[in-house]
Structure 1
């Protein structure tokens, strides 16, 4: 009987539940949206042209390379072996992303194993479940869009890079070659993946190679949970000084990433730009506020992930930057909003996307876009703080030592990772004039994979009256309200993974329902149903 209540069995039940929801979503989309919708209007005719053998045909409105179409062609060619007179319809092309969702789930498990990430084997829920239920992934898994194949190829490239880290000799060269091949496939799917398969992984490789060459103790790279704002500048200088002194061996380790950068550069020169088609509406523009929008987006989707760092409130007082630093950053954010806010015409012209309504609110009064700046800053602090793991209450230690202990171990995120992630995220976002939630998908995914799987340590209940409980930061009595809030946060933090999955289920239920059943018509296009989507 114990077998049927084991974590493994319960995980199978959860996966079965997720699969049933996904199949229902796919079935309803095919029933209620039987014709190509929005970007499918361009993608489906293009892949149909390839299926008909018209390999020279190309729709000039398509901005991304044909990686998804070629993958779909190969997949349906394999299916064609088992069917008589197989003629792919919209349903079959959409099936590509249905399959890719489960391929992504497997790839995420492989990445966790290769990176030797900490896994709570006794727990029922795992982060891979939450990732495949992430609204931007789940929603587009039933449509013929490029996002899932793009994410899958980036994760696949990351697997080969991570596998190389623990290999040597011929196996190392093999994994590097596979990294290059997977990276090229990723670039053939979406050009901006260069920042993840080359810049991001290249930055991580530089950090790893430098530490391996001179020793990790000789590089200033503290854990995020112990770092001050000044540590970010110190770490940058420390890595740069060490890296410059060992450029030849670094290039030997970086040859897959350098090759990908060379291939991307050659493509841009040949194409005369990054995007393939519709170049007039996709001109690269300096758009720095994109690096402000990402923080509330991550908080909206992943607020349960923030709960472990709130498991002991007094510890938070040691994490935010100093007042002078905070004021400086806020001032820079205000200047960025004032001088560089870019609103693409598509954003204000298409009321089918949720960003239309967000920017309409921000444009109602000139003050609102500045009032949002403190929100951006607080969200950024929480997102970075989540990488420090959970906090735990003080234990008896000598007075001269810190009384706040932070949980971090094998999965500790260090300052160098933040620097690399910020560089890749900035490069992928700040040149895009259009604000689309899908553009933030890979930055969110890499951040989510880096968040330590830590759980707050249970705290023994005190028998002393609430008025006698001390705030460890100032020695002042804590109020009953503070104690109650702390207890609620600690309880919520212990169920953060479950809350994350439930939150994604709720968001998906609402957005999928609105897409399917709350369509509307534009006066200029009577008879055509328009649908709300990300």
Structure 2
């Protein structure tokens, strides 16, 4: 194989293309939007105040802690050290997120290595490329928003937690201390990160400790691909009983997460609430439909990731929930929509955000919000089903069982429980629906979905030969798959490329609309308003 056709070289080309697109986006934003826009109107002056040494100055309209401003101060201080007469402008503050995009890319690679996830070294389009091109990450990387730093700190905390699970002695304590430090930085960026650096990683730590002390085989914790709805409460009870007898050990293993929870509780007591400023418009409210909206959002963005479920349709049909389960969940969803649908005034008042138009459609007729319920359910089944990995033809008794790997283990019901609980806690208290709120839930889900590695032609031939010999009809060829099945199989084998292309198309449209399809409000003539997430 020539070096110029090797996967390593082609990966460099793909990353170069992504970098070129990103730098073009950044340059155009700075050229066409030379003044702070929307939330930048609050973030930039606050960062500028810190740069001028006004550490006690605070804009009461800002609701999140100052982590990003302090990080930006540190980055620009380095630039000030090597440059004469350095004066940060809007461009320099925005460049913080440019740096963070590539720091996030490196962190994702490290996380994959530390967790020893199964990846194809022959794969050119690795999932890290798709993540940094994900529209909500790519779009805000050119603006001075807090999202990239928030995501980066959560990934950093997970790196240290994961490294600590396999370490011992003083090394383990060091990684736990680093996890605590990264978690505190994450909390200083966004308050809701407490659910990801403490609750989510704490839940994973409980699973890790219980499996290590009790053994996976003694727990009721089936793989997602083999689970039914009733396995959810059974797994919860099994884990609860096992964890109860290990409480002293768990307290030792969970000290970083418990310390983070304690620090967060202290902040809430000192601040008189979770939100720093503008408390009147950001009141915590029970908003259960948030856990309905997340499923179509993930499907919209990540439908290519779902394609490997359809590699073998008979197996896919076996994974679908039972009718009784479907009826129960649909009923609960309908009740939730009927009793707890909340539409924040900001959503209806600001036509610059895409959510404004989504909810305008849902409000055109009172029945539409109920018609959407089956869509929520189907999307949820597909999103959770993707964690079971690609469907495969059932193995014969004499063959070894197949396993879909996530690190060293299959994705099990227990992980879904931890992820679902954490996602619920982080979303259901927010009355405002913003796509950015779903960013970390999407990221943790995306990193957990097993990578689909198509069989090579030699493996397929071997599988066909085994099928012939086991059936006793060697001369007869097996029944060829249907045209639909063949199309789905080919589409699944190119799911990474389709995902990357899909994200590039979304970015092309949304970035173009933001830059070149501005409009004016009658009450603010001369001020350009721009569409954005």
Question: Structure 2 length as normaliser, TM-score?
Answer: 0.94
SS class of match (2:382):
helix
Which residue does the alignment assign to 2:525? 526
Greater CA deviation, 349-358 or 210-219? 210-219
Partner residue in 2 for 1:455: 453
**1:472-483 residue pairs with structure 2 within 5 A?**
483=482
Distance 1:60 1:328, change over 3 A: same
1:419 alignment partner in structure 2:
417
2:290 counterpart of 1:290: yes
Equivalent residue number for residue 360 of structure 1: 360
Aligned twin of 1:437: 435
Shift of 1:370: 0.2
Tell whether 2:164 aligns with 1:164: yes
SS at 1:526 equivalent: strand
Change (3 A) 1:406 1:162: closer
State the superposition RMSD in angstroms: 1.9
Corresponding residue number in structure 2 for 1:517? 516
Q: How many residues align?
A: 517
Question: Does the 8 Å CA contact 1:407/1:454 hold for their aligned counterparts?
Answer: no
Specify the alignment match of 1:393 in structure 2.
393
Structure-2 separation of matches of 1:48 and 1:412: 48
In the alignment, is the contact (CA less than 8 A) between 2:311 and 2:390 conserved in 1? yes
Q: Distance in 2 between matches of 1:56 and 1:462?
A: 69
Q: Distance in 2 between matches of 1:358 and 1:487?
A: 35
Q: Deviations over 1:92-118 (max 9, x none)?
A: 000000000000000000000000111
Corresponding residue of 1:75: 75
> Quick check: 2:184–2:260 contact (8 Å CA) kept in 1?
yes
**Residue number in structure 1 paired with 2:473:** none
Following the alignment from structure 2 to structure 1, what is the Cα–Cα distance between the partners of residues 263 and 201? 16
Deviations 1:48-74 (A, max 9, x none): 000111110000000000000000001
Task: For residue 393 of structure 1, report the CA deviation from its aligned partner.
Answer: 2.4
| CA drift at 1:83 | 1.1
Contact 1:334 1:370 in 2 (8 A): yes
1:455 to partner: Cα distance: 2.6
Partner of 1:6: 6
1:408: Cα distance to partner? 4.1
CA deviation after TM superposition for structure 1 residue 45, in Å: 0.3
Q: CA deviation at 1:396?
A: 4.7
* Stretches (4+) displaced over 2 A: 393-398, 404-411, 454-463
- 8 Å Cα contact 2:118-2:405 kept in structure 1: no
**Residues 489-530 of structure 1, C-alpha deviations (whole Å, 9 max, x = no match):** 000000001100000000000000000000000000000000
Cα shift at 1:392: 1.7
TM-score, reference length from structure 1: 0.94
Unaligned regions of 5+ residues in structure 1, if any? 464-476
Q: Check the 8 A contact 1:389/1:406 in 2, yes or no.
A: no
Secondary structure of 1:528's counterpart equals strand
Which has the larger displacement, 420-429 or 449-458?
A: 449-458
SS at match of 1:392: coil
8 Å Cα contact 2:146/2:189 also seen in 1: yes
CA distance, structure 1, for counterparts of residue 340 and residue 158 of structure 2: 33
Contact 1:157 1:179 in 2 (8 A): yes
- Structure 1 residues 396 and 201 mapped into 2: Cα distance closer, same or farther (>3 Å)? closer
Q: In structure 1, what is the Cα distance between the partners aligned to 2:453 and 2:189? A: 37
